[in-house]
């Protein structure tokens, strides 16, 4: 029973009782999962913690509230306190040029570890770079898109492309390298400043970590933020040892509020875990709110901090260097003497436990009466937030629905589209999907004999074939190998919409290549040739390098079996090539995010490791490899 007693004014009895269960001291890591379970059981604890932390006493904001400085603020509700604001060097003859909307914030272990600021607007870009230079920033962590939906969240404060140079108030900025990953981009900036004496010039290297998949008023995926933070900290460890920069980390979203606070809370607590084995979310939340208004803006964001730290502690670090692959796989096969489970079984059970579940409401489009007949299995329906919507008009009886979902790759979001073998009445929908989304390749991982249940959906000979009322597919060329067949097709679209016809819209033909794996018979859990599957992945990548890297449509008979292996293994191989690391656990976890049935059994999960091992042993150092 939660403690009862005197209640604060305006607090319900339930909230008053909850106060006694709030931990004023840091929680030991060994007790943290239990701590989170208690808050799931009694959500009022979380709510009271958040409300209590937000009620800390505010401070003066005189400088940021001046009429001269108000236009420099993105959000008039989030203005730095005077006591810890960043004070820029005054520029001669420009009053109030010492103001920038930025605040010094402590981590749990280090004073002034962060400078949290807003994303610059048109008139504050120069102030932003003065802030970066003056604080001798160790890096920039950007947590917003420049443009989100219909709103400009932050101007692009760096040059438009690599090799270009921009000058902001005497600070020259350029960048020569950019690394693209599915959820974030890492840019290497070079910033230079010349002094009043012509012979004086200082040059600094600076990394920007730009998280691109965190939309306003939402929370991202926990494991993606943990990975992002790992990349930030690993890069800082390397760069600070070279540059000896001890300045703060610049953290910003659009207004220096909610998202910035979430990142700092996660980063500071993970640092505390690494140093002392403790977590102090509530205590640090109070410290954040004392340092700046609006940090961790909503209860949902506060809960996300708990969820992320819990997942981080539960899953631990699942990646390891590729040099340890063979040794690690041997260790993973050894059964624990007490539980009788090996590491493969433990990892897969953990993934199943963390896989999201979707409600009928989440998948409303596929359950509509006019779409239900387009699904092979009513239990395998795509969630509306992650499905591709068909845009080609094929007639009044057609809808925008196809049973398909987007899957992220390692370096690009929505790199793949998974779908099932089309039904006789959805053949046109499949080619609409390929056409509408400029898909560069179609990969078919099964070869059922043609039947009414599994109709042929591409021309087998050299003649053109029409699919649905709109699309005609022409054979261009083909190449057949022992275990892989490939065709290049041209997709022609006929305009049947009266509106488009009157507007004179012309549908340009598009080209894609279809690959079919021939060595994965029905009833087999894995293909008869691992080498053929790896070679298929290489062939698809080589074809995409010749095109514009459009999405890849991957098809199995039911849209769940086999395809998850293809996605996860591809992501792992990309990680091996780019970073020399292996993380099958997180790759499979990401793959199952939008379609929980992918990698549907332990055999497929273990086979992902086997595919990576095969690639490392036979392809990694060979000329003409995947990249």
**Burial of residue 316, with CB atoms counted within 10 A of its CB: 0-12 exposed, 13-18 middle, 19 or more buried:** exposed
Residue 19 has a pLDDT of: 63
Residue 9 pLDDT:
44
Please check the confidence at residue 597 and state whether its pLDDT lies above 50.
yes
- Higher-confidence residue of 341 and 20: namely 341
Q: Write out pLDDT tens, residues 83-110.
A: 999 999 999 889 899 999 999 999 999 9
Decide if 97 contacts 88 (C-beta within 8 A). yes
The residue-averaged pLDDT of 366-395 equals 96
pLDDT at 224 over 70: yes
Provide the percentage of residues in the chain whose pLDDT is more than 70: 94
**What are the pLDDT digits (tens) for 340-355?**
999 999 999 999 999 9
Estimate to the nearest angstrom the gap between the alpha carbon of 612 and the chain centroid.
Answer: 22
Mean pLDDT over all residues of the chain? 92
Residue 128's nearest CA partner among 96, 169, 90, 165 is 169
Per residue in 28-41, pLDDT (tens digit) is 999 999 999 999 99
Tell me, what's the pLDDT at 23? Answer: 62
How far apart (Å, rounded) are the C-alpha atoms in residues 126 and 287?
30
Predicted local confidence at residue 16, as pLDDT: 58
| Cα pseudo-dihedral 365, 367, 373, 378, rounded to 10 | 120
pLDDT at 325 over 80: yes
Backbone angles phi, psi at 212, to 5 degrees: -100, -5
The 3-state DSSP class for residue 431 equals: helix
Q: What domains are there in the chain, each with its CATH number?
A: 13-54 (no CATH), 70-317 (3.90.190.10), 354-618 (3.90.190.10)
Q: Is the model's pLDDT at 421 over the cut of 60?
A: yes
pTM: 0.92
What residue spans of 277-324 are helical by DSSP H?
A: 281-291, 299-315
Range in 11-15, 333-337, 617-621 the model is least confident about: 11-15
**Predicted pLDDT of residue 304:** 97
Residue 503: Cβ within 10 Å count: 10
Q: What is the DSSP letter of 92?
A: T
Locus of tokens 């340092």: 291
pLDDT reading at 424 higher than 70:
yes
Rounded (to 5) percent helix, strand, coil in the chain: 35, 20, 45
Pairing mode of beta strands 184-194, 171-180: antiparallel
**Rounded alpha-carbon distances, angstroms, from residue 239 to 203, 207, 245, 436, 615:** 15, 9, 8, 43, 31
Residue 536 has pLDDT above 60, yes or no: yes
pLDDT number for residue 484: 97
Weakest mean pLDDT among 8-17, 339-348, 431-440, 604-613: 8-17
Q: What are the tens digits of pLDDT across the range 36-86?
A: 999 999 999 999 999 999 998 889 999 999 999 999 999 999 999 999 999
* Contacts of residue 586, Cβ cutoff 8 Å, sequence gap at least 6: 223, 227, 318, 319
With beta carbons less than 8 A apart as the criterion, state whether 418 and 457 touch: no
pLDDT of 152 > 90? The answer is no
pLDDT bracket for residue 151 (50, 70, 90): confident
* DSSP, res 388: P
Sort 71 into a burial class: Cβ within 10 Å, 0-12 / 13-18 / 19+.
Answer: exposed
Confidence grade of residue 4 (pLDDT, cut at 50, 70, 90)? very low
Question: How far is it, in rounded angstroms, from Cα 269 to Cα 304?
Answer: 13
Mean pLDDT confidence for 187-192: 95
The pLDDT tens digits of the residues spanning 514-525 come to: 999 999 999 999
Residue 551 has pLDDT above 50, yes or no: yes
């Amino acid at each position: 029973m939660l403690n009862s007693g005197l209640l604060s004014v305006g607090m319900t009895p339930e909230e008053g009782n909850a106060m006694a269960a709030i931990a004023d001291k840091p929680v030991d890591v060994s007790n943290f999962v239990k701590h989170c379970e208690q808050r799931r059981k009694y959500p009022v604890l979380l709510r009271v913690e958040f409300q209590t932390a937000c009620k800390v006493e505010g401070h003066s904001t005189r400088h940021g509230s001046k009429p001269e400085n108000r236009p420099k603020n993105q959000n008039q509700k989030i203005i730095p306190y005077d006591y810890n604001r960043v004070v820029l060097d005054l520029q001669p003859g420009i009053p109030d040029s010492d103001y920038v909307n930025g605040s010094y914030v402590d981590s749990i272990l280090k004073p002034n570890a962060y400078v949290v600021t807003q994303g610059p607007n048109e008139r504050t870009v120069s102030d932003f770079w003065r802030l970066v230079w003056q604080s001798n920033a160790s890096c920039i962590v950007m947590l917003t898109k420049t443009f989100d939906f219909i709103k400009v969240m932050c101007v692009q404060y760096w040059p438009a492309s690599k090799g270009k140079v921009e000058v902001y108030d005497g600070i020259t900025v350029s960048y020569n390298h950019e690394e693209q990953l599915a959820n974030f981009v890492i840019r290497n900036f070079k910033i230079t400043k010349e002094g009043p004496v012509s012979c004086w010039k200082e040059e600094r290297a600076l990394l920007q970590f730009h998280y691109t998949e965190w939309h306003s008023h939402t929370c991202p995926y926990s494991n993606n933020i943990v990975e992002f933070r790992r990349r930030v900290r690993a890069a800082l460890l390397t760069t600070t040892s070279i540059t000896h920069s001890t300045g703060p980390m610049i953290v910003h979203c659009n207004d220096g509020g909610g998202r910035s606070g979430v990142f700092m809370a996660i980063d500071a607590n993970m640092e505390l875990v690494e140093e002392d084995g403790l977590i102090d979310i509530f205590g640090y939340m109070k410290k954040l709110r004392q340092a700046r208004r609006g940090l961790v803006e909503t209860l949902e964001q506060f809960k996300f901090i708990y969820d992320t730290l819990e997942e981080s502690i539960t899953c631990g670090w699942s990646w390891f260097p590729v040099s340890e692959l063979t040794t690690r796989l041997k260790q993973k096969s050894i059964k624990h003497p007490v539980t009788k489970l090996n590491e493969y079984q433990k990892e897969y059970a953990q993934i199943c436990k963390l896989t999201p579940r979707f409600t009928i409401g989440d998948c409303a489009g596929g359950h509509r009466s006019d779409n239900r007949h387009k699904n092979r299995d009513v239990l395998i329906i795509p969630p509306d937030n992650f499905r591709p919507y068909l845009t080609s008009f094929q007639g009044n009886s057609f809808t925008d629905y196809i049973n398909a979902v987007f899957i992220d790759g390692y370096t690009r979001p929505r790199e793949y589209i998974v779908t099932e073998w089309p039904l006789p009445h959805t053949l046109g929908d499949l080619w609409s999907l390929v056409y509408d989304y400029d898909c560069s390749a179609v990969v078919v991982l099964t070869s059922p004999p043609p039947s009414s249940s599994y109709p042929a959906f591409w021309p087998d000979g050299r003649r053109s074939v029409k699919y649905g009322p709109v699309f005609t597919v022409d054979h261009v060329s083909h190449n057949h190998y022992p275990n892989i067949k490939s065709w290049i097709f041209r997709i022609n679209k006929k305009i049947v919409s009266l509106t488009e016809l009157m507007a004179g819209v012309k549908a340009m033909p598009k080209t894609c290549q279809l690959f079919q794996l021939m060595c994965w018979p029905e009833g087999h859990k894995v293909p008869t040739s691992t080498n053929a599957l790896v070679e298929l992945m290489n062939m698809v990548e080589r074809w995409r390098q010749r095109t514009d890297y459009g999405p890849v449509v991957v098809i199995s008979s039911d849209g769940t079996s086999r395809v998850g292996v293809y996605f996860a293994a591809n992501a792992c191989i990309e990680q091996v090539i780019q970073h020399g690391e292996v993380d099958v656990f997180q790759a499979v976890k990401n793959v199952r995010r939008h379609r929980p049935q992918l990698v549907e059994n332990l055999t497929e999960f273990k086979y992902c490791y086997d595919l990576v091992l095969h690639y490392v042993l036979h392809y990694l150092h060979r000329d003409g490899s995947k990249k």
